[in-house]
């Protein structure tokens, strides 16, 4: 395991979509965005902590998933992308079904 975990743009987008969907499904948009904004300076440190604690987290997550999340947290831009996806999904959920298809914005 090296410190640089590379994710392809497709892997990154898929992981961001999965996390955003789960946050919105649980209706935790506001706490999640607040948490992400407050901990932005610690994102890289968090990615390294995931690697260090991978053996303990292995009881809950697959090693591949741990490394994907660590790779995601290595770049601060990914936090911005995640926040945007959460906001987009939350806004889409709040729109009436008829308005979702006819949005000109």
Question: What average pLDDT values come out for the chain (105 residues) when binned by 10 residues?
Answer: 74 96 97 96 93 94 93 93 97 79 56
The CA distance from 23 to 39, in Å, is 17
Angle, CA 95 vertex, CA 9 and CA 76 arms, to 5°: 30
Give the pLDDT confidence score for residue 99 in this predicted structure.
59
pTM (global) more than 0.75:
yes
Structure-token pair, residue 65:
């998933």
Residues 6+ apart with CB under 8 A from 59: none
* Helix ranges restricted to H, 1-105: 9-25, 29-38, 43-52, 54-57, 63-73, 76-94, 97-101
């Amino acid at each position: 395991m090296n410190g640089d975990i590379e994710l392809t743009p497709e892997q990154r987008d898929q992981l961001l979509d999965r996390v955003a969907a789960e946050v919105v499904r649980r209706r935790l948009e506001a706490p999640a965005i607040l948490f992400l904004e407050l901990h932005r300076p610690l994102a890289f440190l968090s990615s390294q902590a995931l690697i260090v604690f991978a053996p303990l987290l292995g009881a809950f997550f697959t090693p591949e998933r741990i490394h994907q999340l660590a790779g995601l947290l290595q770049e601060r831009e990914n936090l911005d992308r995640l926040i945007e996806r959460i906001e987009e999904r939350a806004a889409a959920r709040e729109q009436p079904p008829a308005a979702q298809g006819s949005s000109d914005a």
